[in-house]
Amino acid sequence: MKWGIIGTGNMGSMLTTSLIRSGAAQADEITIYNRSSKKTAKLKEAFEDLDVAKTLPALCKACDIVFICVKPHDYKSIIEQVEGELHEHHCVVSITSPVSVEELEEKLSCQVARVVPSITNHALAGVSLFTFGSRISTDNQKLLREAFHHFSTPVEVEEAHIRVSSDIVSCGPAFVSFLLKEWISAANRVAGISEEKATQLTEQMIVGLGELFSQEIFTLEELMEKVTVKGGVTGVGLQALEDHTGELFVEMFKATQAKHREDKQSIEL
Ligand SMILES: NC(=O)C1=CN([C@@H]2O[C@H](COP(=O)(O)OP(=O)(O)OC[C@H]3O[C@@H](n4cnc5c(N)ncnc54)[C@H](OP(=O)(O)O)[C@@H]3O)[C@@H](O)[C@H]2O)C=CC1
Ligand SMILES: O=C(O)[C@@H]1CCC=N1
């Protein structure tokens, strides 16, 4: 199977390296293309067997599965350039939430899917969000699921829940990092610990927490129960969190839902 990656920014580069590093694909099975040459040159330096296409038609000719990894507003220009180059056997995969498989199917005659990755896939972990179009063959569905299974947990998601699902798995690493920065800063201000030391403790706590989930040792509820010693400090801290969280997360999810609606209205394929 030949894989094509259009756009080798954060996500296109991550997909290229994760496909190879996880063993899902060999470097010589992947063709990459980017608007400017610096990022493709860096990938070629790391994996010399990668094929770097000079044009979008050349990439389409060389590949069966074609990932579009550009920003949502750049999809239109890519689709206009590739539509005449794609045939029934091709499968185009969008990696962005605001572009639905229905919209892609209206513009392209080939098979389509959407797979929204996460920066956590860099560590060959985390989730990838799958939505299949109506024309994609069962063989290609299987192939995509198996490839992504090498470096993520593929989860199917319906269109109505793509925004909130992507908020959790794809935006989540940025949102949680923001909260942890606040936590570190407060630890410094209230108790005088250096931010450097608090960062080291926090990062390692998160690694340990991830392992507890990964090894299915405790659920969220069990963790709260096991750590809260009767009459101890955790209970006091949890109560302070409950008293002050307020509408914080409701507001965050409302903001992303509103931006999603706005993006969908302004993106024209
Ligand atoms: N960042 C994330 O964590 C996640 C992002 N996504 C989705 O992934 C997509 C890409 O995001 P991200 O990788 O962060 O963005 P980046 O800006 O890092 O990458 C976009 C890439 O697209 C290239 N590009 C733009 N126009 C063209 C074109 N016409 N032909 C070829 N290449 C082109 C750019 O090239 P140049 O080097 O010339 O600028 C750049 O390398 C977005 O749609 C986003 O919604 C999905 C899940 C998570
Ligand atoms: O399309 C998305 O939902 C992703 C999440 C982070 C950026 N884009």
Residue 262 to residue 58: CA distance in whole angstroms: 34
Q: What residues line ligand 1, using a CB cutoff of 6 Å?
A: 6-12, 33-36, 39, 69-72, 74, 77-78, 95-96, 116-119, 170
Render pLDDT for 142-194 as a digit per residue (tens, 0 to 9). Answer: 999 999 999 999 999 999 999 999 999 999 999 999 999 999 999 999 999 99
- The CATH superfamily assigned to 3-157 is NAD(P)-binding Rossmann-like Domain (3.40.50.720)
Coil vs helix vs strand at 57? helix
86: left (phi over 0), alpha (psi -120 to 50) or beta: beta
Closest ligand, as measured to the CA of 256: 2
Q: Residues 56-69: what's their mean pLDDT?
A: 98
E-strand stretches of the chain: 3-6, 30-33, 51-52, 65-68, 91-94, 111-116, 127-132, 153-156
Could you state, in order of their start, the residue ranges of all structural domains in the chain? Answer: 3-157, 165-259
Ligand nearest the Cα atom of residue 260 = 2
In Å, what is the CA distance from 235 to each residue of 4, 213, 226, 256?
52, 22, 11, 32
Residue 235 CB neighbour total at 10 angstroms: 14
Q: What percent helix, strand, coil does the chain show, rounded to 5?
A: 60, 15, 25
Supply the pLDDT for residue 70.
98
* Residue that is written with structure tokens 């040159």 in the block: 41
Q: Does 32 show up as a binding residue in the annotation?
A: no
Ligand 2: centre distance to CA 119 (Å): 10
Nearest to 169 by CA among 179, 155, 180, 158: 155
Q: What is the pLDDT of residues 198-254, one digit of tens each?
A: 999 999 999 999 999 999 999 999 999 999 998 899 999 999 999 999 999 999 999
pLDDT higher than 90, residue 42: yes
What angle, rounded to 10 degrees, do the helices at 10-21 and 38-46 form?
Answer: 10
Q: Are 12 and 35 in contact (CB under 8 A)?
A: no
Residues found in the chain: 269
Substitution site in 13, 56, 69 for ligand 1 pocket (most atoms within 8 Å of beta carbon):
69
Structural contact between residues 151 and 121, judged by C-beta atoms closer than 8 angstroms:
yes
Distance (Å) from CA 173 to ligand 1 centroid: 18
Contact 187, 193 (CB under 8 A): yes
pLDDT of 6 reads 98
Per-residue model confidence (pLDDT) at position 268: 87
Q: What is the pLDDT of residue 121?
A: 98
Q: Provide the pLDDT for residue 22.
A: 98
CA of 135 to the centre of ligand 2 (A): 24
CATH assignment, 165-259: 1.10.3730
pLDDT attached to residue 264: 94
**In the structure, what pLDDT confidence band is assigned to residue 53 with cuts at 50, 70 and 90?**
very high
Q: What is the mean pLDDT of residues 109-138?
A: 98
Identify the three-state secondary structure at position 130. Answer: strand
| 76-114 per-position pLDDT tens digit | 999 999 999 999 999 999 999 999 999 999 999 999 999
Phi, psi of 33 (to 5 degrees): -150, 135
Q: Is the pLDDT of residue 135 over 90?
A: yes
* Alpha helix segments (H runs only) across 63-160: 75-82, 101-107, 138-149
**Beta carbons of 114 and 100 less than 8 angstroms apart:** yes
Residue % of the chain over a pLDDT of 70:
100
Is there a binding annotation on residue 6? Answer: yes
Ligand 2 binding site (Cβ under 6 Å of any ligand atom): 96-97, 116, 166, 170-171
Chain centroid to CA 43: 19
